[in-house]
């Protein structure tokens, strides 16, 4: 059995959402009556958990966005998503983000968890929660400052075709659409 042990932890930078730190670690490996020790340094980028929703209208259309993210030279096609606030249920985050980013909401009983996953397990223990929101209805759209979002709708099967053609490159969106196909 192998087990990681932390020797030292050094914080390098903190911002509103992220913390960059280094950990000196060793991996204890037991076997054949001897114990090996492997040391290394991991650089970790701690990030808060997030929740996303696949908003599905009563007509079977997915409400999505083209998000113009600063680091990229192209907009990403995404489902609404955002950071889970301290003490917040990820389901509530998903509903809040739908309202803020695309101007749609859903009754809690119409929102079901599709999956959760570790989007960047090599960097941190961040979790991404993805929900399917059925029978969404219009709500007030309140994007965060600095968000440049283009809202659009399309049938789920067309969104899946875009995914299979490689036109959707956002991981939570890809995962959400594939899981939604199974849940519809």
Mean pLDDT of the chain: 91
For the stretch 100-147, pLDDT in tens is: 999 999 999 999 999 999 999 988 999 999 999 999 999 988 888 877
Pairing relation of β-strands 137-138 and 104-105?
antiparallel
Cβ count within 10 A of residue 103: 19
Give yes or no for a contact between 51 and 127, defined as CB atoms under 8 angstroms apart.
no
Q: Using one digit for the tens of pLDDT, what is the confidence trace for 5-38?
A: 888 999 899 988 889 999 999 887 776 545 566 7
Picking from 15, 104, 19, 119, the residue whose alpha carbon sits closest to that of residue 53 is 104
**Domain containing 101: what range?**
50-183
Question: Residue 5: CB partners within 8 Å, gap ≥ 6?
Answer: 25, 26, 27, 28
**How far is the C-alpha of 106 from the C-alpha of 85, rounded, in Å?**
19
Residues 90, 175 share a domain: yes
Q: How many residues does the chain have?
A: 184
Number of domains into which the chain is organized: 2
Asked if the model's pLDDT at residue 169 lies above 80, the reply is: yes
CA distance 101 to 155: 19
133 and 158 share a domain?
yes
> Does one domain contain both 64 and 147?
yes
- State the Cα–Cα distance between residues 34 and 41, nearest whole angstrom: 24
């Amino acid at each position: 059995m192998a087990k990681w042990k932390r020797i030292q932890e050094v914080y390098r930078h903190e911002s509103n959402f992220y913390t960059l730190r280094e950990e000196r670690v060793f991996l204890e490996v037991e076997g054949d009556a001897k114990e090996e020790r492997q040391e290394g340094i991991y650089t970790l980028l701690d990030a808060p958990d997030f929740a996303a929703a696949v908003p599905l209208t009563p007509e079977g259309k997915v409400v999505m966005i083209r998000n113009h993210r600063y680091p990229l030279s192209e907009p990403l096609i995404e489902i609404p998503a955002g950071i889970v606030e301290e003490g917040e249920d990820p389901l509530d985050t998903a509903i809040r983000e739908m309202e803020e980013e695309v101007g749609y909401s859903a009754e809690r009983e119409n929102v079901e968890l599709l999956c959760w996953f570790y989007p960047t397990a090599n960097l941190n223990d961040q979790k991404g929660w993805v929900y399917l929101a059925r029978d969404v209805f219009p709500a007030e759209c309140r994007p965060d400052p600095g968000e440049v979002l283009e809202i659009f709708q399309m049938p789920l099967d067309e969104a899946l075709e875009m995914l299979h053609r490689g036109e959707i490159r956002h991981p939570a969106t890809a995962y959400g659409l594939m899981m939604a196909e199974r849940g519809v």
